[in-house]
Amino acid sequence: MATVISVGNMKGGVGKTTTAVHLAQQLGRKGKTLLVDADEELQCAVYWRGGEFEGWTFDAIPFREFAPEKAAGYEYVVLDTKGNEQGNDLVSLARGSDLLVIPTKPDGLSATGLIRTLTPLVDAGVTNYRVLIVANVGGRGEELRDALAEQEVPVMTTLVRQSTAVGDAAERRLPLEAYTTNRYAKLVALDYGSVAREVLNDVR
């Protein structure tokens, strides 16, 4: 049976698709991986993966094409959720996954959205989730990570740095590791490699 890792947040614009794509790219080096894109309107993950780059390590399909039997033969399934889920959606998502990764940016608006996202999970007694801080600038990520840890919120040690390389790589339909004309792209790709190691430690 495949290990299911979902990436979700009630707030949009927090690096959800970037995280799903690069988590799948990293996990694809460990075992056969499928990314399922639940954003039926934009399908950003499927579009990004659909470029001509030959070094993608995972397959990607829209959610409407997914059925449980499609996971046969895959070691990992990464679900890029539609975004703007409601609390009950996230609780159901977490219960149907081995791990729910909740990306957030270290800014006030995103932090407010994070509180709204975490509240129904905490109220439902869900524990199989981890907060991931992305687009880190200066010491803001460290401050948020430490504050969450003090509140006993499960938070990943890895901080994913901010870089314009993310948007550029998406536009070129390349994984960050292959966007060689931007010197920061490789560093962000390495950050996601560290995220994948933390995820694997949590699901084993």
Q: What is the pTM of this model?
A: 0.94
- Name the domain count of the chain: 1
Q: State the CATH number of the domain containing residue 14.
A: 3.40.50.300
* pLDDT beyond 80 at 64: yes
Determine contact, residues 137/165, Cβ cutoff 8 Å: no
Is residue 204 included in any domain, yes or no? no
Q: How far apart are CA 24 and CA 150, in angstroms?
A: 30
DSSP conformational letter for 147? H
- Domain extent, residue 14, equals 3-199
Neighbour tally for 53: CB within 10 Å: 15
Question: What would the pLDDT profile of 97-115 be if each residue is shown by its tens digit?
Answer: 999 999 999 987 777 788 8
Beta strands 129-136 and 3-7, pairing class: unpaired
Within 13 Å, how many C-alpha atoms sit on residue 100's CB side?
A: 23
Question: What would the pLDDT profile of 179-190 be if each residue is shown by its tens digit?
Answer: 988 889 999 999
Query: What average pLDDT does range 141-160 have in this prediction?
Result: 94
Beta strands 3-7 and 99-104, pairing class: parallel
DSSP conformational letter for 152? T
